[in-house]
Structure 1
Amino acid sequence: MAMYIHVPEEALAVPKIDVTVDDNHYRAGALKLIKELRPNWKPSEVKIKFFTDGITNKLLGCYVGAVMQDVVLVRIYGNKTELLVDRDNEVKSFRVLQAHRCAPALYCTFNNGLCYEFLQGTALEPEHISSPPVCRLIARQLAKYHTIHAHNGWVPQSDLWLKMGKYFALVPKYLKDPERHTRLTTEVPSLHCLREELLWLQQHLSHLDSPVVLCHNDLLCKNIIYNKEPGNVKFIDYEYAGYNYQAYDIGNHFNEFAGINEVDYSHYPQRAFQLLWLRSYLEAYKEHKGQASDVTDREVELLYVQVNKFALASHFFWGLWALIQAKFSTIDFDFLGYAVLRFNQYFKMKPEVAVLTLP
């Protein structure tokens, strides 16, 4: 059994540059990287755009000229995110996906981040991912991910429970700021309660027989780039990519219909929409696996039940993640409030999906 990603021998090597970029005074470090990656660019002409969408890392775009044509993205890892993300695994996932034409070019890694190609297109918003043409593209692209073999013949195994166990051990018992500590102790479920729920989740979901596949694991709107001219979507940011349950990846994506900055779970897709989405996904999944692409109603219903149950695990995972970020992150975001939202939705959704039965 294997949890790790196997990088094929033909995958492009990724250079490591010995540079540390200060996330507050980033220009000097970014220019050192650009000197290696784009030696013909004049340092005085390099423009830097700071992207503000991410809540894990800091992201810069470096380019020359009037338009952002050839852009080197510089991603600086967030404070203590090595507690949450296996950076070696991230690079392996990046290289595997690049080898299968599912990812942009990875130019290099550096001491506290990596540089990669900028994909032309639009980072989607919640209202976009539910539109019929776009959601079908997303379903089919995710199916392509899920059929990539990166396990070198081993039987792939999910690391979801191992990762959640590690996260649980890192959940803060106190926060320095008195007001935030009060919120932690009054609004967030107790550690005893969380431990009981984690055990229930593992027991309840492990018996659903969802296939273990190569997953993105963080398919929120901003990680989906839509390019209108060729009519395709590409996924970016592979920090959490790895072997996981097929239904988790889809359920996690459905949860992201609610957005991040102004979370609204009334946007969680209704059953009719899900059934159409899941049918498009299964058609593409079978095509990529070389199977007959006829999809039965029973297959769609089975995946529907699995996905909505695993959506619970997604809420729980990101709730734990947000509690850890509340302690360590230097990014201006209410991680504690986000954790409360995720756990509240978990407990609201649990009775509804716990009674779903497999066909």
Structure 2
Amino acid sequence: MQALSASVIRRLGGGSFMSVAGSSRESGRLPREVKGILQSLASGWNDVADSKALQVIPLKGAMTNEVYEIKWPTRAGEPARKVLVRVYGEGVDTFFDRTDEIRTFEFMSKNGQGPRLLGRFPNGRIEEFIHARTLSASDLRDPEISALIASKLREFHDIEMPGPKNVTLWDRLRKFLNAAKSLSSPEESKSFCLDKMEEEICILERRLSGNYQRIGFCHNDLQYGNIMMDEESKSITIIDYEYASYNPVAYDIANHFCEMVADYHTETPHVLDFSKYPGDQPGDLEVEQLVQDVEKYTLASHLFWGLWGIISARVNVIDFDYMEYSRQRFQQYWLTK
């Protein structure tokens, strides 16, 4: 682990985490219009035996959406035909702009990045089912897999996304802070030191806004559940672009490193183990500078997801201790600072 962060950074600089929750033949949970789109899609595939004989498998672990694997029986000897249906969650307007996220997904789909877009409906979409393995928490700390992720993330940062290329981090932090304050009791605000956060954001922005920093298109949520790997080709696919935007590349790397301390598939998914944060062993001046920037941007990452947790505790019904998660992120912020 000591050399992991530097080796990753050399390649870079120089969550909806899902698992099968159980299967069901009942498709009543899907919006009516979705069934029609799915049947229309399947009717155009010669290998599908019956377009109406779809199987719906809910997938668990996604933090903002309902996600389903859809399967159809195929003709003898052929694998089942599959797609993914994503039904957008409620109460996420504070976190990101759904219109921007859809625009990003469509652009990525058209340019061979991530799954192909197969269909849309008012509150969701139908995606290509990627036949690859979603990574686990331990995969992020595997040096070989980490190197593959680094190469893919550098490619991601070089994407020329249409539209403004302004850094979004600081405005988002302030938006999150205002929302967290409005949703918190006086006791909670005091416990989380929310009244001090505006000053902390200003300090970080002043110290981390140097002209020398590279700005790129960033994922901003590169936890293990948003990374898939083909076991045969070892190719990496980055998915779920809800938080994607232009930001300092060092922030995206810092945020990814912070995700190495999490395992969202345990009995206590909100508990973080900061001893698993990667060490660094820079070997040249350029890498050393980026390592230093990444370390500083971990502070911004802790603030971002700490505020996110406070808001999520009010708007999300998923079984996850968001407030305790926030406490850990803020505690690590003050310890690191």
- TM-score, length basis structure 1: 0.76
Aligned equivalent of 2:242: 239
Q: Could you say which residue in structure 2 is the equivalent of 1:11?
A: none
Q: Which residue of 2 aligns with 1:26?
A: 30
Residue 342 of structure 1 and its aligned partner are, at CA, apart by 1.3
What do residues 201-235 of structure 1 show as CA deviations (whole Å, max 9, x unaligned)? Answer: 21121137321111111100011101110111111
Coordinate RMSD, CA, aligned: 2.5
Distance in structure 2 (CA, Å) of the matches to 1:29 and 1:183: 45
Matched, 1:203 2:206: yes
1:223 corresponds to 2:201: no
Which amino acid in structure 2 is aligned with residue 162 of structure 1?
D
Measured after TM superposition, the shift of residue 86 of structure 1 is 1.0
Identify unmatched segments of 5+ residues in structure 2: 1-26
Letter in 2 for 1:253: H
Alignment of 1:36-185 (within 5 A): 36-39=40-43, 42=50, 44-65=52-73, 69-151=80-162, 156-174=165-183, 184-185=188-189
Aligned-partner Cα distance in 1 for 2:57–2:85: 10
Q: Quick one: distance in 2 between partners of 1:254 and 1:24? A: 40
Q: 1-side partners of 2:248 and 2:42: how far apart?
A: 40
Q: Could you list the per-position Cα deviations for residues 52-82 of structure 1 after superposition, in whole angstroms to 9, with x for gaps in the alignment?
A: 1111221111111289753221112222112
CA separation in 2, counterparts of 1:324 and 1:248? 21
1:35 counterpart residue number: 39
Matched, 1:329 2:316: yes
Q: How many residue pairs get matched?
A: 298
Q: Cα gap change, 1:33/1:347 in structure 2, threshold over 3 Å: closer, same or farther?
A: farther
Shift of 1:134: 0.7
The 1:173/1:163 distance shift into structure 2, 3 A limit, reads: closer
Contact 1:208 1:306 in 2 (8 A): no
**Residue 303 of structure 2 aligns to which amino acid in structure 1?**
F
What is the CA distance between 1:43 and its match in structure 2? 5.8
Taking the aligned partners of 1:127 and 1:121, their CA distance within structure 2 comes to: 17
Equivalent pair of 2:42/2:51 in contact (CA under 8 Å):
no
Out of 294, 298, 307, which is 1:320 matched to? 307
| Corresponding letter in the other structure for 2:280 | R
Cα gap change, 1:97/1:271 in structure 2, threshold over 3 Å: closer, same or farther?
A: same
Q: Per the alignment, in what secondary structure is the counterpart of residue 260 of structure 2?
A: helix
Is the 1:72–1:117 contact (alpha carbons within 8 Å) kept by the matching residues of 2? yes
Instruction: Name the residue aligned to 2:14.
Output: none
Q: What is the percent sequence identity of the aligned residues? A: 31
2:216 aligned counterpart, secondary structure: strand
What is the letter of the counterpart of residue 326 of structure 1? A
Q: Following TM superposition, by how much is the alpha carbon of 1:136 offset from its aligned partner in structure 2, in angstroms?
A: 0.8
1:273-312 pair list within 5 angstroms? 275=282, 297-312=284-299
Any unmatched runs of 5+ in structure 1?
1-22, 176-180, 276-295, 351-359
Which whole-Å deviations, capped at 9, do the CAs of 1:94-126 have from their partners, x for residues lacking one?
Answer: 233233322110123322122211211111112
The DSSP-based 3-state class of the residue aligned with 1:45 is coil
Partner of 1:251: 254
Residues 339-348 or 299-308, more deviating: 339-348
Letter of the 1:241 counterpart:
A
Q: Is the 8 A contact 1:79 1:330 kept in 2?
A: no
| Code of the aligned partner of 1:63 | K
Whether the 8 Å contact between 2:114 and 2:239 is mirrored in structure 1 is: yes
